[in-house]
């Protein structure tokens, strides 16, 4: 299938980034959210991120103008039904995702491909709630989408070869690299990354090191570009906890048990950068460790 039109469900950090890269690559994009304010914020974010790419010499001003012209917005989910490819990028809760797909089904063309940007939830299970499990895949972008090169391609048990080949071509058209992954909890990147972050939280919880010393140790001792606690704040502590719970529940191994301190931060509503407090407090000019 030749994909020309793309719908993105969810205008948050991931959804806006996905819309950005598709529009820049020449696809016609329709961005959906239940909130008109969220759509307006997403367009503002996309514009600013395109400006950064211009400042770095990666694109020219006409590229920005053309990309923005390719993005339409809507608060009506049915408007996506006519498109070739739909990417669900809503919050990382299975009930929310399945409700979106169920609402979409009556409006879809038979050939429309459905995908989810889920970072951990079973693609096979999500696909089974639709009328087209053979045309359903995981299409997991990394954050921030305009910067990160990798896209995980996850087949469900029923995904057919034509769907996989089509999406492999789509990823190549975006100028990104596809990493095929099997449909097991958290796939590849988060299967490795989240336990590392969780172990960093345990290291803090057990008093082995402070927030600052843990992050500094991994930046300078392991050459990581960002410390694990700083990275957790960037991702969102609620997202980290949700993925650890998927790993723990799906693999039934105690090594994936979420750290109680991570749970406590989420219960406090300290979710990281998006709430201005997590392992760091971002309310001042410089982030300050909260522990």
Q: Which residues are catalytic?
A: 119, 140, 152, 190
Q: Is 28 annotated as a binding residue?
A: no
Q: Is 226 annotated as a binding residue?
A: no
Q: Give the bridge partners for 178, in sequence order.
A: 151
Q: How many CA atoms are closer than 13 Å to the CA of 191, on its beta-carbon side?
A: 14
Average of per-residue pLDDT values in the chain: 97
pLDDT computed for residue 1 by the predictor: 82
Mean pLDDT to the nearest integer, 117-134:
95
Query: Burial letters for 25-47: b for 16+ Cβ neighbours within 10 Å, e otherwise?
Result: bebbbbbbbeeeebbeebbebbe
- Per-residue pLDDT tens digits for 168-180: 999 999 999 999 9
Residue 11 pLDDT exceeds 90:
yes
Q: How confident is the model at residue 227 (pLDDT cuts 50, 70, 90)?
A: very high
Q: How many CA atoms are closer than 13 Å to the CA of 186, on its beta-carbon side?
A: 21
pLDDT computed for residue 181 by the predictor: 96
Q: Is 12 annotated as a binding residue?
A: yes
Q: Is 14 annotated as a binding residue?
A: yes
Distance CA 66, CA 17 (A): 16
Q: What is the pTM of this model?
A: 0.90
Distance CA 290, CA 281 (A): 6
Residue 92 pLDDT exceeds 90:
no
Residue 263 pLDDT exceeds 90:
yes
Q: Is 44 annotated as a binding residue?
A: no
Domains plus CATH for the chain? 5-182 (3.40.50.720), 191-289 (1.10.1040.10)
Q: Is 274 annotated as a binding residue?
A: yes
Q: How confident is the model at residue 29 (pLDDT cuts 50, 70, 90)?
A: very high
Element (H, E) at 72: strand 71-74
């Amino acid at each position: 299938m030749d994909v020309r039109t793309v719908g993105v469900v969810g205008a948050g950090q991931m959804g806006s980034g996905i819309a950005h890269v598709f529009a820049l690559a020449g696809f016609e994009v329709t961005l959906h959210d239940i909130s008109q304010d969220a759509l307006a914020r997403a367009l503002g974010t996309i514009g600013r991120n395109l400006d950064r790419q211009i400042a770095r010499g990666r694109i020219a001003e006409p590229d920005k103008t053309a990309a923005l012209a390719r993005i339409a917005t809507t608060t009506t989910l049915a408007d996506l039904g006519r498109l070739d490819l739909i990417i669900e990028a809503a919050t990382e809760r299975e009930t929310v995702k399945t409700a979106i797909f169920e609402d979409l089904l009556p409006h879809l063309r038979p050939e429309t491909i459905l995908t989810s940007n889920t970072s951990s939830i079973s693609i096979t299970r999500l696909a089974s709630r639709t009328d087209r499990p053979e045309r359903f895949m995981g299409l997991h972008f990394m954050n921030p989408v305009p910067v990160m090169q990798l896209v995980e391609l996850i087949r469900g048990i029923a995904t057919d070869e034509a769907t996989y080949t089509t999406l492999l071509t789509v990823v190549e058209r975006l100028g990104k690299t596809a990493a095929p992954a099997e449909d097991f909890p958290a796939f590849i990147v988060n299967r490795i990354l989240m336990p590392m972050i969780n172990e960093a939280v345990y290291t803090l919880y057990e008093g082995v090191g402070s927030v600052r010393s843990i992050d500094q140790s991994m930046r300078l001792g392991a050459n990581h570009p960002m410390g694990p606690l700083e990275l957790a704040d960037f991702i969102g502590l609620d997202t980290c906890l949700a993925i650890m719970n998927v790993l723990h529940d799906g693999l039934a191994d105690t090594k994936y048990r979420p750290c109680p301190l991570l749970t406590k931060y989420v219960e406090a509503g300290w979710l990281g950068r998006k709430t201005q407090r997590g392992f760091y407090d971002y309310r001042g000019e410089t982030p300050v460790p909260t522990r």
